[in-house]
Amino acid sequence: MRRRHGGIIAAGLIGVSLAAVFASIGVGSESISFAAAWRDWCAGRPLADAPELAILLQHRLPRTLAALLAGGGLALAGCVFQALLRNPLATPYTLGVASAGAFGAYAATVVMRSAGLALALWGFSAVQVCAFVFALLDVSLIYLMAVRRHHVSSSVLLLAGITLGMLSNAGMMLVRFLSDPGMLAMMERWLMGGVDVIGYEPVVTLAAGVLPCSAVLLLQAAKFDQLGFGAEVAQGRGVNVRRLQTTTFLLGSFLTAVIVSEVGPIGFVGLIVPHAVRSLTGSRHRLLMPLSFVAGGAFLCLCDIFARIVLPGETPIGIITAFLGGPFFLYLLLRRRFGDWET
Amino acid sequence: MGRRLESHSVSFAYVPESPVLADVDVGVTGGEVMGVIGPNGSGKSTLLRLLCGFLRPARGAVLLDGQPLSAIRSRERARILAFLPQTVTPAFALTAFEVVLLGRYPRLGPLGAPAGRDREIALRCMRETETDGLRYRDFGTLSGGERQRVLLASILAQEPDLLLLDEPTAALDINHQAGIFALLRGLARNGYGVVVVTHDLNVAGQFCDRLVLMSARARIVAQGTPRQVLTRDLLTEAYESPIVVTEHPITGTPLVWPEPASAGGAKP
């Protein structure tokens, strides 16, 4: 069992990701001449007079950045949760973060509509705020149930998370049952997710949530290698296990809550991207974690390109991540390249 | 001038009603192998975790070179004493060499990136435990004996002064048991202090310098050389069941057996 050189894998993945980013900027319903856009840029024309430049700067670029940040964050959080819970199925979504967020969004939509309010808070819509708050409420409850004196119980985290996820789903069904069809359509669309942002406000929000959390998580990579051998081994090596579990659980959840509230509960990225990368890198977290971020961002960019061009109109990106990612994941599973999990 | 790790009248209980340890005084110094023996539930593993600093004593203190262990930062502690739990099950597949290299963690910088020197040390530790031939093997495919040796190499890679091992030979055949203990003996000769919890009284009697015999009544029955501790009376008291002690035909060290039930012994 020899390892391929980390540098080569990293270079390859980063190369593919850059290609995805350029493709994402270049592809869309309007075909754009980069040369014309460049001329407009150099001439310093206002965006109103330079439609091609406007599409690039106001639509394509923010959209690509949003996909990169959201995909990267979701993949990194998934990778962290798999290591944290020593379970190949664990992601923030497994713990109900997305379901709770979606429930929050649903409830907000209904309450706002029936009360005739269009509430906004510091520029965030009530839907976003509720999604975020509910997602955080979910993880806080789970954490309080699972925390012990010297460690955090992985099995309680998982079981409580799955239970709260089911409760959120039931809550969502109740809201749907009680609300009228017009409102349902609106909510359904949100549930499928999408990075079809316009302008930079959502990108700034995403970046403010994703980048600092990711940086702190990436700094813990070496500790996750230790945790892979069990809490006692890690403790014997000088890792403060409870502190590691607490900080990374909360940061991973917070990051996911930011993403879900901004682009909706996009599924699958957090589960499959870390496994796919792991099949290349092995479980060396100092390599696996940053590359999961890169690959997650590229994967969501790629899915977004499909969302723009495959069907007329915008296909919800959640459908694409599942249709692209699912079969690929099964392929890995059947080829026994299912990461490096000892089972 | 080896390190000294000792407990001063340490008491501990997981639940207040049933104390696991009461007023326990033990100590290990660099250069010696101390065996901790006793029946199941006598608190051997708990004692080991107290000595590691994983558990805090309810009363008393654990001292490392006279300093309270609790006052030492966990990273610093990991450079002085290394712990090997009874069962180690990695969640991910790693090569034997990667497993050993992970032992370097407390000696690495904040990013945990091993350098060439760390690889050299890891390889040296594999040579010390005669596992360097296994370096590219998947850890999960190694035999029980090979695994224990690789894990031993991984805690040696921490470059500690004291080793604390919880039943390192529990799953091994007698040949590999003796092999691991001979290795520990050799390490002690090189200055390491070793604390080893074991159920094998005969191997313990042959390889340990000192033994601590614990009983299910939260206390230490006896400590001293194997000859002082492995006696019929003390063992019968600790295990609450009649024990026979004879002599090893070659080494002369004590050999221990439960008395057959027909001879009027074991409780129903």
What was the pLDDT predicted at A29?
67
Which residue of B54, B92, B159 to mutate against A (max A Cβ within 10 Å)? Answer: B92
What was the pLDDT predicted at B263?
53
**What mean pLDDT comes out for the span A196-212?**
89
- A226/B76 touch (CB, cutoff 8 Å), yes or no: no
- B95/A1 touch (CB, cutoff 8 Å), yes or no: yes
The C-alpha of A285 sits at a distance from chain B's nearest C-alpha, in angstroms, of 10
Higher pLDDT, A256 or B111: A256
pLDDT band at B157 (very low <50, low <70, confident <90, very high): very high
pLDDT in tens, A268-280: 899 899 988 988 8
Nearest to B138 among A1, A223, A230 (CB): A1
What was the pLDDT predicted at A122?
58
What was the pLDDT predicted at B93?
83
Q: Which residue of A has its CA nearest to B88?
A: A229
Model ipTM value: 0.88
Task: Inform me whether the pLDDT recorded for B168 exceeds 60.
Answer: yes
Determine the Cα–Cα distance for residues B112 and B105; give it in Å rounded to an integer: 6
Supply B9's token pair.
């009248």
**What mean pLDDT comes out for the span A255-277?**
89
Task: Inform me whether the pLDDT recorded for B268 exceeds 50.
Answer: no
**With pLDDT > 90 as the criterion, what percentage of chain B qualifies?**
65
Specify the CATH number for the domain of residue B233. 3.40.50.300
What was the pLDDT predicted at B265?
47
**What mean pLDDT comes out for the span A192-198?**
79
Q: Which residue of B has its CA nearest to A341?
A: B92
Q: Is A320 in the B-facing interface, judged by CB distances under 8 Å?
A: no
CA separation (Å) from B16 to A252, A281, B11? 37, 48, 11
pLDDT band at A123 (very low <50, low <70, confident <90, very high): low
Domain ranges of chain A: 6-334
For residue B203, being part of any structural domain is answered with yes
**What mean pLDDT comes out for the span A163-176?**
90
What was the pLDDT predicted at B224?
94
Determine the Cα–Cα distance for residues A96 and B137; give it in Å rounded to an integer: 39
Whether the CB-CB separation of A308 and A28 falls below 8 Å is answered with: yes
Q: What is the tally of structural domains in chain B?
A: 1
Q: Is A222 in the B-facing interface, judged by CB distances under 8 Å?
A: yes
Supply A331's token pair.
């392929």
**What mean pLDDT comes out for the span B142-170?**
93
Q: Is A215 in the B-facing interface, judged by CB distances under 8 Å?
A: no
The candidate with the shortest Cα–Cα distance to A156, out of A178, A169, A141, is: A141
pLDDT band at A161 (very low <50, low <70, confident <90, very high): very high
Nearest to B90 among A223, A240, A342 (CB): A342
Residue A228 three-state SS: coil
Homologous superfamily assigned to A6-334: ABC transporter involved in vitamin B12 uptake, BtuC (1.10.3470.10)
The candidate with the shortest Cα–Cα distance to B18, out of B220, B217, B214, B221, is: B217
pLDDT in tens, B102-146: 999 999 988 888 999 999 999 999 999 999 999 999 998 999 889
Q: Is A339 in the B-facing interface, judged by CB distances under 8 Å?
A: yes
CA separation (Å) from B78 to A275, B28, B109? 32, 17, 14
Give the domain range for residue B78.
4-263
For residue B94, being part of any structural domain is answered with yes
Burial of B58 (0-12, 13-18, 19+ CB in 10 A): middle
What was the pLDDT predicted at A58?
84
Q: Is B137 in the A-facing interface, judged by CB distances under 8 Å?
A: yes
- B74/A239 touch (CB, cutoff 8 Å), yes or no: yes
Nearest to B92 among A150, A228, A286 (CB): A228
Which residue of A154, A217, A229 to mutate against B (max B Cβ within 10 Å)? Answer: A229
Determine the Cα–Cα distance for residues A21 and B19; give it in Å rounded to an integer: 63
Determine the Cα–Cα distance for residues A210 and A213; give it in Å rounded to an integer: 5
**Which positions in chain B touch A221 (Cβ < 8 Å)?**
111-112
**What mean pLDDT comes out for the span B174-191?**
91
What was the pLDDT predicted at A213?
96
For residue B268, being part of any structural domain is answered with no
Task: Inform me whether the pLDDT recorded for B1 exceeds 70.
Answer: no
Residue A14 three-state SS: helix
pLDDT in tens, A296-331: 999 999 999 888 887 777 788 888 888 888 888 888
- A222/B137 touch (CB, cutoff 8 Å), yes or no: no
Task: Inform me whether the pLDDT recorded for B205 exceeds 70.
Answer: yes
Determine the Cα–Cα distance for residues B199 and A98; give it in Å rounded to an integer: 49
**What mean pLDDT comes out for the span B59-64?**
94
What was the pLDDT predicted at A292?
96
Kindly list the strands in the beta sheet with B4-12, ordered across the sheet, starting from the edge strand earlier in the chain. B21-29, B4-12, B59-64, B67-68
Worst-scoring range by mean pLDDT, A107-121, A151-165, B128-142, B169-183?
Answer: A107-121
